Amino acid sequence: MDFLNNMLSAVGASSKDMVHMSVTPGVGLELIVLDQVTKTVKNYSCKPLDYDETAREIADYDQFKEAASALFQELHLNPKCKVVVNLPTVLFGSKEISLVVGNEGVTTAITSEVEQSYIFKRSEPVVSWVESNSSSKQEVRTVFYTAIQKNAVDNIKNALSEIGAELGNIEIGLTSILRALEYTDMADSQMQEGVTWNLLLISPVGYSICSMVGKNLIDYYEEAIPVKSFEGEEIYKAISASAQLTLMSYPANYLYIVSDTDAVSAEGLANKLPIDGNLQYLENNKFKKQEFLEASLDVIQENVLSISLEAIGVAVNRIVSTNLNFNILGGADEGEVDLDSPVKIRIGDKEYEITPKTANIIAAIISAVLIIPALFLMVIIPMYTKKLDAKLQDIQSQVQATESQISTLEKQESGSGGFDPKTEVKKVLDFNRTKLMSYAALGESVPKHLWVTYFTASGDGKVDIKGKASTVEDVYAFFSNMKDSLINVDLRLHKLEMESSNIDDVVGATSNKHPYYVFEITNMSDAELIPVGQAASAAAANGAATPANPDASSVNMPPISGTPGAPGAVPASPLQAK
């Protein structure tokens, strides 16, 4: 807000602070400053001011000028400002007027009726009216009106002008009280949409009844009673007897009593009225026991209880709206616009007069403030977006390359020709375990008079053993031992025959030369076996056997015997059985 105020001042918009005063009978002249943010009284003071209840006018305008000047000095306020003044309600009423009558005709009709009042027999009235939005009749419209003495308005203007201030507006006590009740939430239950309630307002000259629906005035009734002519409890009886009958014409959910005079206690009247239903009262006089708003430490404690509803209401005249926004000082008629005259704009407590030239300057400033950043964003954002797009494309390319590599590795790993470490290790272990078992069985099963000349074993359990022995019993003993050691190999005695096929050699053998039996023990098929002649020639040529199975491990071995020193024997092999 301060920035906007400074900007308007910089471009030449004239401004004046707004000050709020209230002429309140029983209190005097009040000046109030509210803190709208905290809803507290920021500063306040009051000075005595006589008010003529009969003429309903300020008794001495010089006293008004002196009181106003003293208040400005006491609260350290600049008198070069606009002042909104609240005045006690002089005259208020409602009237039904035909729709065929124009606005000028309405003003004329109301003025004629106002002039019938004794107050305006000797004084010209200033009339203001607003149209009610609650009329149910289609052929007529209901208007609420108020009137103030023209000389009173002129005298207030002159008094303020002499101390350097300007009269900004005039509010009436009724509308100020309604605004204060809403602003302070003291009539929160009543001012809800659709709730019907009656405001019984006691003044020094009688009482009035405002028929309300929520925040809107629907109907109005006023009864004049010479309050000061009664003594003691008589005034309560008089008001109670009269108001009781009147309230029967205004059925409502709530009755709210506000006493605006020191002569009547709202609580006392509430106890006298035989009213059924919800009743609430508020003291706006000397019987007040609690302040309406919290006040700052700048307010003299003795003055806190003096703050009236009217003072609060006039201070919020632009904040709290009602259906009774009167324009007592006059101005352009509704719908008319003077293109050459300054436009008034209020910001906070300041009111600015903006000429068409100033308005053009402000429009240019606002356009610059809005357009320049927009143009800057239009240039910068596309450039920045282009860089981000390039980075995004680079990242997407890297992601695609990584995904391709992952896919290739997954295919290689899951393919039929892929290398599975676990499978390969298992194959090697199984292959070597079978061969080791065959070697172990061979070493444990060799009898003393038996020699192994050829041995082959494969990972798939294929075994082929060739050798010779001195007796057939040794061959069968060796065969039995091997079958018992290699349970799942399914060995068979494939061959058993004399080493020499010449009978003469066998018959002519001496004691130093015994015949030998050659044998072959295997679980291979005939097609898998290596013929004996080929095995012998391979052994002679290469010194090693060529196995039929490519996974087989075969050895063309020196004779393995359990009897060292036997004919044709060699020293014992590590495979010899112990």
CA separation for the pair 341, 326 (Å, rounded): 21
Nearest to 562 by CA among 544, 547, 577, 541: 577
Supply the DSSP string of 284-300, one letter for each residue. -STT--S-SS-B-TTS-
Could you tell me the sign of the dihedral formed by the alpha carbons of 183, 187, 192, 196, in that order?
negative
Domain boundaries in the chain? 1-186+292-331+340-354, 191-290, 427-556
- In one-letter notation, the amino acid at residue 213 is V
Could you tell me the sign of the dihedral formed by the alpha carbons of 6, 8, 14, 16, in that order?
negative
Distances (CA, A) of 128 to 23, 36, 220, 322: 20, 28, 16, 15
Given this model, what pLDDT does residue 490 score?
A: 83
Give yes or no for a contact between 149 and 331, defined as CB atoms under 8 angstroms apart.
no
Query: 82-86, 117-121, 172-176, 381-385: which range is least confident on average?
Result: 381-385
Question: For residue 26, what are its two tokens?
Answer: 């029983």
Give yes or no for a contact between 345 and 318, defined as CB atoms under 8 angstroms apart.
no
- Does residue 538 carry a pLDDT above 80? no
Share of the chain above pLDDT 90, in %: 39
What is the DSSP pairing of strand 463-469 with strand 140-149?
unpaired
Give yes or no for a contact between 314 and 21, defined as CB atoms under 8 angstroms apart.
yes
Nearest to 40 by CA among 295, 292, 291: 295
Q: Domain 191-290 class?
A: alpha beta
Instruction: Tell me if domain 1-186+292-331+340-354 and domain 191-290 are identical in fold.
Output: yes
pLDDT digits (tens, 9 = 90+) for 140-163: 888 999 999 999 999 999 999 999
DSSP designation for 228: G
* Model-wide pTM > 0.85: no
Given this model, what pLDDT does residue 80 score?
A: 92
Rank 4-8, 122-126, 379-383, 562-566 by mean pLDDT and report only the highest.
122-126
Regarding predicted confidence, which is higher, 137 or 180?
A: 180
Distances (CA, A) of 392 to 17, 398, 518, 539: 58, 10, 83, 73
b vs e for 104-117, b when ≥16 Cβ sit within 10 Å of the residue's Cβ? eebbebbbeebeee
Nearest to 536 by CA among 551, 523, 518: 518
Question: For residue 165, what are its two tokens?
Answer: 């201030």
Query: 4-13, 69-78, 89-98, 479-488: which range is least confident on average?
Result: 4-13
In this prediction, residues 245-265 reach a mean pLDDT of 92
Regarding predicted confidence, which is higher, 578 or 279?
A: 279
- Does residue 565 carry a pLDDT above 50? no
Supply the DSSP string of 297-343, one letter for each residue. TTS-HHHHTT--HHHHHHHTTTTS--S----TT--SPTT---SSSPE
In this prediction, residues 215-239 reach a mean pLDDT of 89
CA separation for the pair 318, 18 (Å, rounded): 11
pLDDT digits (tens, 9 = 90+) for 339-386: 444 555 555 555 555 666 666 677 777 777 777 777 777 777 888 788
**Residue 306 binned pLDDT confidence (cut-offs 50, 70, 90):** very high
3-state secondary structure of 477: helix
Query: 84-98, 339-353, 410-424: which range is least confident on average?
Result: 339-353
- Does residue 544 carry a pLDDT above 70? no
CA separation for the pair 93, 127 (Å, rounded): 11
- Does residue 508 carry a pLDDT above 70? no
Given this model, what pLDDT does residue 569 score?
A: 37
Given this model, what pLDDT does residue 573 score?
A: 36
Q: Domain 1-186+292-331+340-354 class?
A: alpha beta
In sequence order, what are the beta bridge partners of 140?
A: 98
Given this model, what pLDDT does residue 481 score?
A: 85
- In one-letter notation, the amino acid at residue 235 is I
In this prediction, residues 270-286 reach a mean pLDDT of 89
CA separation for the pair 558, 571 (Å, rounded): 9
